[in-house]
Structure 1
């Protein structure tokens, strides 16, 4: 089966389960560059390259990349492959994102530990309160 040579905004929205508004937003951010057709160029026509860029944009968002980071990675993807500068920029972007995620993970682990301690304290207080009431009712 051959791949289509162009896509409509509706087709891409359906395929990737996003709204046409989201696709237009990515276009405004310079992540997609559809061709314009029809009266006054109102109809957007997306190429296989745009489809791939949308797919990579959505994957980048799921991985927590900012739109700026995604744009950098997409631009690297589009540039001639095999250049040392391209690979360094790619590695630098990935490393910076990994470091940010590592800091977030440490923060989350700290928060989870604190919440566990608070929960245990609350349960202990609750159990102590129930025990006191049970002893009072037996004494009466």
Structure 2
């Protein structure tokens, strides 16, 4: 892991430190989420600011934000702090609503599955009890 006081990082160092692939970092660059500097040999050099942006991207992904939503969050660092806060609150509220909707749908699905399990268990018990009453037994 690179020392915390470094002024720049290679793509490999960042990938190792943050436990992601170099391809992922290149993809984030490709879609405009990161803009690393280049050496005369055309190697990527990432600054502390790039590292911080990458950590924000990864945190956003863990929280369920799309890359487009993460781009909006990153772009707002170019505007005033109150505007940053307003936009972040809006995106967080929208994400919370999506999560609540998913939880509601999952709760309904859980209730339906529990009902199905109960009905199938009852039916199986009925079938097994009538099988025993009919006098027909399978011989093994």
What TM-score comes out, normalization by structure 2 length? 0.84
Q: Cα gap change, 1:45/1:111 in structure 2, threshold over 3 Å: closer, same or farther?
A: same
CA distance in 2, matches of 1:55, 1:139: 66
The runs of 5 or more residues in structure 2 that have no matched partner are: none
Alpha-carbon distance, 1:2 to partner: 5.0
Query: 1:101 maps to which residue?
Result: 99
How large is the RMSD of aligned CA atoms in angstroms? 2.2
- Corresponding residue for 1:65? 65
SS at the partner of 1:33? coil
Report if aligned partners of 2:36, 2:45 keep a CA contact under 8 Å in 1. Answer: yes
User: 1:90 aligns to what?
Assistant: 88
Residues 45 and 116 (structure 1), Cα distance of their counterparts in 2 relative to 1, 3 Å cut: same
User: Which residue does 1:119 correspond to in 2?
Assistant: 117
Q: Cα deviations across residues 55-80 of structure 1 (Å, max 9, x unaligned)?
A: 1111111111111111111222x335
- Aligned CA distance change for structure 1 residues 45 and 137 (closer, same or farther; 3 Å): farther
Tell me the CA shift for residue 107 of structure 1: 1.1
Q: For this pair of structures, how many residues does the alignment match?
A: 136
Distance 1:18 1:121 in 2: 46
Where has structure 1 moved over 4 Å in runs of 4 or more? 137-140
Q: Secondary structure at the match of 1:46?
A: strand
Quick check: which one's helix share is greater? 1
1:11 aligned partner: 13
Structure with the larger RCO, 1 or 2 (CA within 8 Å, 6+ apart): 1
Matched, 1:129 2:127: yes
Instruction: Determine the C-alpha separation between the residues in 2 that align with 1:99 and 1:92.
Output: 11
Q: Which ranges in structure 1 are unaligned for 5 or more consecutive residues?
A: none
Gap change, CA 1:57 and 1:138, over 3 Å in 2? same
